[in-house]
Structure 1
């Protein structure tokens, strides 16, 4: 019985942590206007989308909420095959039947490069969403705030967290997330209102 409670506690902790990450550095309720959903690629060495990229594409497409939307697939080549951006776009179109506006950023090899290289594609939109595993998406949002606070102020939540999804893998995602976010300073994860209040003498 104790093992059951321990497992339940671990699963609850990982759900809470992933949910928290998915809601950090975003402004809920940002509706209307134009929208860009950035889908970040993950280590795709072959010509077809791997399991992680297939999930990220689905999360990105279900994050679309407006009429004036674009999906930006971001990721360069990590092997001998096509760029991750192209692989994800092909999966979105041929398998999921997405026929909306798609833009490709196919040069990036790191999260920092993902963010840097998609910036020109975000200048004219009212709302920005970044779709990936919650910790990775948070890292990208923090990088965007470093580079372009004005664009980061447009960040809205993506639909990349759902309770029970990836349930048994979430503890591993939580541990990996803690590791990948370790270099972010606490202020870089602080919501906008906290930063503003901290500046008030």
Structure 2
């Protein structure tokens, strides 16, 4: 009986592919960790304060909430719970219109937060926004009524929203606090994608004139 040989170079190719995958995942983690470190310089909710956690919706084609919006919802709830643990009160604002589907992202986020995560605090929706700029602009009435505000998304997207708030309403920038948006190993397969997209969009923010 003849022996079946593995083609020469196959093992090396597999090793290189594995190294490349691990490297890509590591870069994704590092970029999001650094974003969390930058956000960590912001103040924290204080005892007795009243705050707002704005969940920035992500394009959702179907009538069921997708994996990215579930991620953002988890970030929002743990941020609000962390504020509660510090003695602050918090409400969640679900933010986003029906950009890619027939159901507003805000509605999908609210239903998931209330029915699947078990958040028992107040939840509001803003279902007209179609971009991050509009997310921030349309959340202003809620932000104005709060002592502090956190944007719940991946760290780079949240950073972009904070820049937009500073541009739209500079006097409210002092109310910004960090969301609890980084967990090692959470959504690791998607972090490299959001790292690449997020870094490109952050660069563009500083070179493109903001919308009117």
TM-score normalized by the length of structure 2: 0.79
C-alpha displacement at 1:70, in angstroms? 0.6
- Higher share of residues assigned helix: 2
Match of 1:122 among 114, 129, 143: 143
The runs of 5 or more residues in structure 1 that have no matched partner are 187-201
Aligned to 2:176: 155
Q: Residues 35-66 of structure 1: CA distance to partner in whole angstroms, max 9, x if unpaired?
A: 11000101123222111111111110001112
Match of 1:69 among 90, 95, 115: 90
C-alpha displacement at 1:14, in angstroms? 2.3
CA distance 1:153–1:84, change in 2 (3 Å): same
User: Does 2:99 match 1:78?
Assistant: yes
- In terms of Rg, which structure is larger? 2
The runs of 5 or more residues in structure 2 that have no matched partner are 1-11, 208-212
Match of 1:20 among 34, 42, 53: 34
Looking at structure 2, the residues matched to 21 and 104 of structure 1 have their Cα atoms a distance apart, in angstroms, of 27
C-alpha displacement at 1:5, in angstroms? 5.4
User: Does 2:73 match 1:57?
Assistant: yes
Looking at structure 2, the residues matched to 158 and 37 of structure 1 have their Cα atoms a distance apart, in angstroms, of 8
Aligned to 2:64: 48
Looking at structure 2, the residues matched to 56 and 165 of structure 1 have their Cα atoms a distance apart, in angstroms, of 11
C-alpha displacement at 1:92, in angstroms? 1.0
Q: Residues 58-106 of structure 1: CA distance to partner in whole angstroms, max 9, x if unpaired?
A: 1100011124211000001124522111111011112222221011111
Residues matched between the structures, number: 186
Q: Residues 13-32 of structure 1: CA distance to partner in whole angstroms, max 9, x if unpaired?
A: 32221122234355143422
> 1:22, 1:137 within 8 Å by CA — same for their partners in 2?
no
What is the SS of the residue equivalent to 2:94?
strand
C-alpha displacement at 1:164, in angstroms? 1.7
CA distance 1:10–1:106, change in 2 (3 Å): same
TM-score normalized by the length of structure 1: 0.83
> 1:18, 1:134 within 8 Å by CA — same for their partners in 2?
yes
CA distance 1:168–1:80, change in 2 (3 Å): closer
Name the Cα RMSD after superposition.
2.1
